[in-house]
Amino acid sequence: MKFNMKFLFVLLLLVAGIFLLIIVANVSSADTITVAQDGSGNYEKIQDAIDASKDGDTIRVYGGTYFEHILIDKSINVIGNGSKVTTIDGGGERQDVVTITADWVNMTGFLVKEANLWNSDIIVDSTHVTLNDNECINAHSGILIFNCFYSTFTNNSCSDNQGGINMAGLSNHNTVMNNSCIENVQYGIRIDGSYRNTIKNNNFSNNSLSTILNGYGVYINRLSRNNTLTGNNITGNRVGIYLGDRSRDNKANYNNIYDNSEFGINALDNNGFIIDAKNNWWGNATGPYHPNTNPRGTGDEVTDFVDYDPWLNKPSKGGGGGFIPGFGAVAVVGAIGLAIKMKYVRRRGRT
């Protein structure tokens, strides 16, 4: 028995050692591949460098405008010299400009543009992806997040598109933080059928460029649930936050929601599901306007099914601030009839 135990222990050590050597070999074999239009790099086209790469490699793309449609189907880093100098231009063709299908991809430092009105500048159809410090313009969606899990989108800018960031197809457990989605035609960010995403410290403003289509700062639809919005600036849209089609258990707290022309939050199409919208700044210390539950409020108007009380008495910095305690009114209008049911919850005031 002792011999067998010693033999098993030695065998386990041997297997662990071989496994460690494989890991070290893979890490040490990662290469950096350069792309430069003037021929000074390893390649002149980004796609050629991707095709020649392997998992773990880094592709450095120097300044210039690259007229390409690229497919990232390997777990690699694709790094530009910044969106001011490194551009991927789709030329307006009816095709996504950048498509990411591999897991564990990092893409940073690009201006991506000219998909057309039907496609996206960047589409992410994979998991554990990081998009950082990219700019996306002149597309249907600046960034389309599709069937994507555990990915991070930070410090990106999406403007002059039909929509900024579009999260769809069961995209769950993602973080969207410190992005600017402004001056798009239809929306800053759209969340369709997606769960448990964190939307934090973004700017979703002035997304009302069309005189025909509604402009939304945040559009949540199609059974989306358990998404959290915190510390965002949502201003200058027609509707700050829209909820529809049984999107439940979503929260919007410590945001600045003001100067939206029609509603701060519209939840009338949400089948009676209530959004937790407590502790937001509505543009005035009197809170949001609701004709029945807060008729003296002069901030952005809210519809029924919005739990807005208490509210902040000054703009949020993303982590708190003073708020005005109230009687906790949630207006609920039934699907049939016009009766208004009031729910009163006593709360202790805080400063």
* pLDDT band at residue 339 using 50, 70 and 90 as cut-offs: very low
pTM of the entire predicted model: 0.85
Residue 192 resides in a domain: yes
pLDDT tens track for 21-59: 444 445 458 999 999 999 999 999 999 999 999 999 999
Say yes or no to pLDDT of 188 above 60: yes
Domain of residue 10 covers: 1-30
Per-residue pLDDT at 23:
46
Per-residue pLDDT at 334:
29
Residue 169 resides in a domain: yes
Per-residue pLDDT at 117:
85
% pLDDT > 70, the chain: 81
Residues 85 and 106 in one domain: yes
Q: Report the C-alpha gap between 70 and 85 in whole angstroms.
A: 18
Say yes or no to pLDDT of 348 above 90: no
Residues 175 and 104 in one domain: yes
Mean of pLDDT values over 347-351: 28
Residue 93 resides in a domain: yes
Whether the Cβ atoms of residue 305 and residue 274 lie closer than 8 Å to each other? yes
Residues 268 and 123 in one domain: yes
User: For the chain, what is the mean pLDDT?
Assistant: 87
Residues 14 and 73 in one domain: no
Domain boundary among 283, 304, 322: 283
Per-residue pLDDT at 332:
37
Residues 74 and 187 in one domain: yes
Per-residue pLDDT at 112:
98
Residue 337 resides in a domain: no
Per-residue pLDDT at 321:
34
Residue 295 resides in a domain: no
Say yes or no to pLDDT of 196 above 90: yes
Say yes or no to pLDDT of 349 above 50: no
Nearest to 153 by CA among 100, 117, 114, 113: 100
Residues 22 and 86 in one domain: no
Residue 331 resides in a domain: no
Residues 18 and 106 in one domain: no
Residue 65: phi and psi, rounded to 5, are -110, 120
Residue 157 resides in a domain: yes
What is the CB-side half-sphere exposure of residue 198 using CA atoms within 13 A?
13
Q: Residue 195: which CATH number?
A: 2.160.20.10
Task: Domain count for the chain, please give it.
Answer: 2
Domain boundary among 224, 256, 283: 283
Residues 180 and 199 in one domain: yes
Residues 162 and 274 in one domain: yes
The most confident of 178-192, 209-223, 313-327, by mean pLDDT: 178-192
Residues 20 and 42 in one domain: no
Residues 84 and 148 in one domain: yes
Residue 298 resides in a domain: no
Whether the Cβ atoms of residue 191 and residue 170 lie closer than 8 Å to each other? no
Nearest to 229 by CA among 249, 209, 244: 249
pLDDT tens track for 65-118: 999 999 999 999 999 999 999 999 999 999 999 999 999 999 999 999 999 889
* pLDDT band at residue 211 using 50, 70 and 90 as cut-offs: low
Residue 348 tokens, joined: 């202790």
Residues 17 and 76 in one domain: no
Per-residue pLDDT at 108:
98
- Can you give the chain as a three-state secondary structure string? CHHHHHHHHHHHHHHHHHHHHHHHHHHHCCCEEEECCCCCCCECCHHHHHHHCCCCCEEEECCEEECCCEEECCCCEEEECCCCCEEEECCCCCCCCEEECCCCCEEECCEEECCCCCCEEEEECCECCEEECCEEECCCEEEEEECCECCEEECCEEECCCEEEEEECCCECCEEECCEEECCCCEEEEEECCECCEEECCEEECCCCCCCCCCEEEEEECCCECCEEECCEEECCCEEEEEECCCCCCEEECCEEECCCCEEEEEEECCCCCEECCCCECCCCCCEEECCCECCCCEEEECCCEECCCEECCCCCCCCCCEECCCCCEEEECCCCCCEEEECCCCCCCC
Q: Per-residue b/e over 95-109, b at no fewer than 16 CB within 10 Å?
A: ebbbbbebbbbbbbb
Say yes or no to pLDDT of 270 above 60: yes
